[in-house]
Amino acid sequence: MQYFLAKTDPETYSIHDFVKEKKTVWNGIKNPGALLVIKTMKPGDKVFIYHSQGGKPAIVGLAQITSDPRPDTQIAKSWVVDMELLKVYKEEVTLREIKETGLFDDWALVYRSRLSTMAVPEKFVLWMEKNYPGTTV
């Protein structure tokens, strides 16, 4: 199982929308680097949901991939996956907090934060599990 991070603008699709729906098709990705990441996702993989705008950038939830990646029927050259929400974090985990730890300077979220979908290092997963248990949906 792998872990990923997927960014969303909360004005477009927020964690509150995800809580209501419980399941979603993760779509709208156009960046070639992010699309390469989506193509590697497999059912059972986990995804940190990250609000990239609309206040302070932060991880707000955790989802699980429930489908194989497939071409997006709405956007040419794009790919989508299905996700199911697993938990919402009681506290948002801000990008500032992540950066201030100094533990993740080699992670794309810290040094190349424009990429909308990316792999997550194992040491970050362990840090999140230890410090932020979240609330199960």
Burial (CB < 10 A; 0-12, 13-18, 19+), residue 108, is middle
Task: Assess contact for 46 and 81: CB atoms under 8 A.
Answer: no
> Is the pLDDT at 115 greater than 90, yes or no?
no
pLDDT for the residue numbered 54: 67
36-85 tens-digit pLDDT: 999 999 999 999 999 987 678 999 999 999 999 999 999 999 999 999 99
Q: What is the CA radius of gyration of the chain?
A: 14
| Domains, in order of start, for the chain | 3-123 (3.10.590.10)
Q: pTM of the entire structure?
A: 0.94
Give the percent of the chain with pLDDT over 90: 78
pLDDT for the residue numbered 111: 86
The whole-chain average pLDDT of the chain stands at: 92
User: Does residue 29 or residue 47 have the better pLDDT?
Assistant: 47
> Is the pLDDT at 114 greater than 90, yes or no?
no
pLDDT for the residue numbered 2: 97
Task: Assess contact for 80 and 38: CB atoms under 8 A.
Answer: yes
Distance CA 89, CA 35 (A): 26
